[in-house]
Chains A and B, each alone.
Chain A
Amino acid sequence: MTNASPTLEVRDLHVEVAGKPILNGVDLIVNKGEIHALMGPNGSGKSTLANTLMGHPKYTVTAGDIRFEGESVLEWTADQRARAGMFLSFQYPTAIPGVTMVNFLRHALNAREGRDLPVREFRTRLMDTMKQLKMDQQFARRYVNEGFSGGEKKRAEILQLQLFKPSIAILDETDSGLDVDALRVVAEGVNQVAAQEPKPGILLITHYYRILNLIQPDVAHVLVRGRIVKTGGRELAMEVENHGYERIMAELGLTAGEGDTAEALHAAAT
């Protein structure tokens, strides 16, 4: 792994939202072809990291760097990052009333590929992918995320992952809210993308070990209070599953408390 090329490189990332520090020095390297699991308690900053990586204007980077395929993307807008090959599957995908999936996907693909896709080519690609994900064709006629059930939203995110074929995919709790069958379909979708050449890097944010039986991570991280406090193999995810975060925190001399400063957490983690 050491001589693999980093697709995503996060260095000492500090992020504020509305003047409040949320990420306090995140370091993370995802190489091409690797699958990383990122776990962490509610509110620890996982989605903040995901949104910041993708360039959400609300999240201010106060220190550190994000590099994608060797280049710093801090100055890039979200659409530039997307067209370069970054992808975020949202924890809570936003509804766009009045805009049909098919219209949205066609515009997005055209923007990404810098050309007007022939209608037939686009339709074939869309229909084939939807079929793989066991999505009803009617789905394409619906308005983006509007009135979608939790599971439908997640499936629609994976549909986009498959259509866009990014170099780095950040999947924010794509497994939550899915029934057993849907989970399998979504996992298959992710695995298929993961196996495609050129192989992408994948950062899989999750609370559940369950998905990690279906999508095998190479590396697992635990994020606590805006810092990655522990990195390991799959067994780390298992440990979280069996013992929760408290044990890891205790192990690291961290106690859940108001008084913990970012520096203290940092010191404990290193």
Chain B
Amino acid sequence: MTTQAASIVGDYKYGFHDDVAAVFKAKPGLNREIVAQISDMKGEPAWMRAFRLQAYDLFEQKEMPRWAAEGALDGIDFQSIHYYVRAADRNARDWDDVPEYIKNTFDKLGIPEAEKKFLAGVGAQYDSEVVYHNIREDLAKQGVIFLDMDGGLRDYPEIVREHFGTVIPAADNKFAALNSAVWSGGSFVYVPAGVKVEIPLQAYFRINTESMGQFERTLIICEPGSYVHYVEGCTAPIYSTSSLHSAVVEIIVKEGARCRYTTIQNWSNNVYNLVTKRAVARKDAVMEWVDGNLGSKLTMKYPSVYMTEPGAHAEILSLAFAGPGQHQDAGGKVVHGAPNTTSTIISKSISKGGGRTSYRGLVKVYPGCDDAVSNVRCDALMIDEDSRSDTYPTMEIDADRVTIGHEATVGKLGEEQLFYLMSRGLPEAEAAKMIVNGFVEPIVKELPMEYAVELNRLIELQMEGSVG
């Protein structure tokens, strides 16, 4: 197999198993051979290789999703994308081993020095691969596993095999199929029963190769009674050609466990950000998605929770900011598949300079799932006349004694609010920023402090020049 791979990529001497720092880059484009090659180079078990190949066939068969906007995804040229890139040849064990250029990236992201000591473990996906990964000793002692997904598959093949693809099958949608075929990197988190991870697990991602696809795959398993907060933050430099980011995140929250997954994404304006995120919440389990989307050309992302047993609770907080040329099609899905399940969706979106935001949400209550309670609130703020906001809420309620609340507001930047702040001496632009930051506060206050600061700063940058 290695020989075959080598023939495809040419000079393979700086390849995957070499200890010398090297760069491997698959040829652009996708076919069965490239998929097989990715699996072979990673030395994966046969079942994963088969899974990838089957997923590839599904990807070929599946239609492009059409709901965000007709033709919106036509700009993706699957044959010009590199499906696998490695930046460095092995995982660094501690901070000193992290290459200087990666540290520079962190500096650019403005990650404060003080924060590092809080890091439970850092998984930074640099290109397609996790190059730095470190688990704090006490976490390891608790039996918590926090690895990149490739490492998880290598070291814990049984746990991975039992759960991988069970929440989001490859057949779920075209991009889930694509990810299943070519996935690389992402995180594998396993929290044993009863273990509460006190500090957030954090990972930083970025894309750095032009025209490179990023297909990370994350699997989080929370055993009964456990708790974990996983945080993923992301910024990307500007690129000249279109990029595709298509991740899959699967989470299984078992009885009485609680999981929070926080994302801040700020892709450059040429990135198609098409992510499938789904969690299963079992008996009395709590799943919380906090999802902030800035940047990208088009984002399509609807974190979902399937409540499969009584007492499960789902919470989805979604924040979207669309600037010029951007379309954020975001929202959430809650599926009540058992009685006495509860859910909340809060969505806040801002569009400016011709940007477009769409809230797309689903509340589904299956027959027999009585006493379900769901509250949906979506607020959209349009900064100027050119911008656009739409709401597409779907309710499919097939049970009795169900309590469903839905509230939606769409508004412009309030004239009275602007006047109030300006009458205190704040220039218009500053007043507008303050109102916008206040608007997103219900979501920002749920973020870890440094992310909240970073997000407010990002929003201020986005707002600059938009008024006055």
| Chain A residues near B (Cβ < 8 Å) | 51, 54-58, 77-79, 81-83, 87-88, 90, 93-99, 103-104, 107-108, 111-112, 143-144, 160, 164
B427 smallest CB distance to A (angstroms): 5
Picked from A54, A87, A90, A99, the residue with its CB within 8 Å of the CB of B441 is: A99
List of B residues within 8 angstroms of A54 by Cβ: 419, 423
Does B63 reach chain A (CB closer than 8 Å)?
A: no
Does B236 reach chain A (CB closer than 8 Å)?
A: no
Given contacts A98-B437, A99-B441, A104-B434, contact A57 B415 (CB under 8 A): yes
Q: Is the CB of A82 within 8 A of B422?
A: yes
Q: How far is the CA of A79 from the CA of B414 in the complex (A)?
A: 16
Q: Is the CB of B428 within 8 A of A79?
A: yes
Does B20 reach chain A (CB closer than 8 Å)?
A: no
Q: Which residue of A lies closest to B379 (CB)?
A: A97
List of B residues within 8 angstroms of A81 by Cβ: 423
List of A residues within 8 angstroms of B442 by Cβ: 98
Interface 1/0s, chain B 397-425, versus A by CB < 8 A?
00000000000000000111101111111
Given contacts A96-B420, A107-B430, contact A79 B439 (CB under 8 A): no
A172 smallest CB distance to B (angstroms): 11
Does B29 reach chain A (CB closer than 8 Å)?
A: no
Interface 1/0s, chain B 29-61, versus A by CB < 8 A?
000000000000000000000000000000000
Q: Is the CB of A94 within 8 A of B416?
A: yes
Q: Is the CB of A99 within 8 A of B416?
A: no
List of A residues within 8 angstroms of B435 by Cβ: 96, 99
List of B residues within 8 angstroms of A143 by Cβ: 438, 441
List of A residues within 8 angstroms of B430 by Cβ: 107, 111
Does B330 reach chain A (CB closer than 8 Å)?
A: no
Given contacts A56-B419, A57-B419, A104-B421, contact A96 B427 (CB under 8 A): no
In the assembled complex, 9 residue pairs joining A and B whose CB atoms fall closer than 8 Å, in A order, are A51-B419, A77-B428, A94-B420, A96-B434, A96-B435, A97-B438, A98-B440, A104-B421, A112-B425
A27 smallest CB distance to B (angstroms): 23
Count A-B pairs with CB separation below 8 Å: 84
Q: Which residue of B lies closest to A163 (CB)?
A: B424
Q: Which residue of B lies closest to A93 (CB)?
A: B420
Does B131 reach chain A (CB closer than 8 Å)?
A: no
Q: Is the CB of A108 within 8 A of B441?
A: no
Does B431 reach chain A (CB closer than 8 Å)?
A: yes
Q: Is the CB of A98 within 8 A of B419?
A: no
List of A residues within 8 angstroms of B426 by Cβ: 79, 107-108, 111
List of A residues within 8 angstroms of B420 by Cβ: 90, 93-94, 96, 144
Q: Is the CB of A99 within 8 A of B422?
A: no
Given contacts A90-B420, A93-B420, A94-B417, contact A79 B425 (CB under 8 A): yes
Q: Which residue of B lies closest to A160 (CB)?
A: B424
Q: How far is the CA of A90 from the CA of B422 in the complex (A)?
A: 13
Q: How far is the CA of A87 from the CA of B417 in the complex (A)?
A: 16
Q: How far is the CA of A7 from the CA of B58 in the complex (A)?
A: 77
Picked from A78, A95, A103, A104, the residue with its CB within 8 Å of the CB of B423 is: A78
Picked from B417, B422, B438, the residue with its CB within 8 Å of the CB of A78 is: B422
B237 smallest CB distance to A (angstroms): 31
Q: Is the CB of A108 within 8 A of B425?
A: yes
List of B residues within 8 angstroms of A160 by Cβ: 424
Q: Identify which of A51, A90, A111 gathers the most chain B CB atoms within 10 Å of its CB.
A: A111
Q: How far is the CA of A106 from the CA of B135 in the complex (A)?
A: 41
List of B residues within 8 angstroms of A96 by Cβ: 417, 420-421, 434-435, 438
List of B residues within 8 angstroms of A111 by Cβ: 424-427, 430
Q: Identify which of A56, A83, A94 gathers the most chain B CB atoms within 10 Å of its CB.
A: A94
With contacts A56-B419, A96-B420, A96-B434 known, what are 15 further pairs, Cβ within 8 A?
A55-B423, A57-B419, A79-B425, A81-B423, A82-B423, A87-B423, A94-B420, A96-B438, A98-B439, A98-B441, A104-B424, A104-B434, A107-B426, A107-B430, A108-B421
Q: Identify which of B415, B424, B426, B428 gathers the most chain A CB atoms within 10 Å of its CB.
A: B424
List of A residues within 8 angstroms of B423 by Cβ: 54-55, 78-79, 81-82, 87-88, 90
List of B residues within 8 angstroms of A107 by Cβ: 426, 430, 434
List of B residues within 8 angstroms of A95 by Cβ: 417
Q: How far is the CA of A225 from the CA of B240 in the complex (A)?
A: 63
B441 smallest CB distance to A (angstroms): 3
Q: Identify which of B414, B421, B437 gathers the most chain A CB atoms within 10 Å of its CB.
A: B421
A211 smallest CB distance to B (angstroms): 22
Q: Which residue of B lies closest to A89 (CB)?
A: B423
List 3 A-B pairs, minimum CB-CB distance, nearest first: A98-B438, A98-B441, A99-B438
B456 smallest CB distance to A (angstroms): 10
Q: Which residue of B lies closest to A146 (CB)?
A: B438
Q: How far is the CA of A129 from the CA of B439 in the complex (A)?
A: 28
B346 smallest CB distance to A (angstroms): 13
Q: How far is the CA of A58 from the CA of B422 in the complex (A)?
A: 14
A58 smallest CB distance to B (angstroms): 7
List of B residues within 8 angstroms of A79 by Cβ: 422-428, 431
Q: Identify which of B415, B422, B423, B439 gathers the most chain A CB atoms within 10 Å of its CB.
A: B423
Q: Which residue of B lies closest to A87 (CB)?
A: B423
Q: Identify which of A98, A103, A111, A112 gathers the most chain B CB atoms within 10 Å of its CB.
A: A98
Interface 1/0s, chain B 349-381, versus A by CB < 8 A?
000000000000000000000000000000000
B451 smallest CB distance to A (angstroms): 17
Q: Is the CB of A77 within 8 A of B437?
A: no
Q: How far is the CA of A107 from the CA of B440 in the complex (A)?
A: 18
List of B residues within 8 angstroms of A99 by Cβ: 434-435, 437-438, 441
B460 smallest CB distance to A (angstroms): 12
A67 smallest CB distance to B (angstroms): 18
List of A residues within 8 angstroms of B428 by Cβ: 77, 79
Q: How far is the CA of A143 from the CA of B438 in the complex (A)?
A: 9
Q: How far is the CA of A104 from the CA of B439 in the complex (A)?
A: 14
List of A residues within 8 angstroms of B440 by Cβ: 98
B415 smallest CB distance to A (angstroms): 7
List of A residues within 8 angstroms of B414 by Cβ: 94
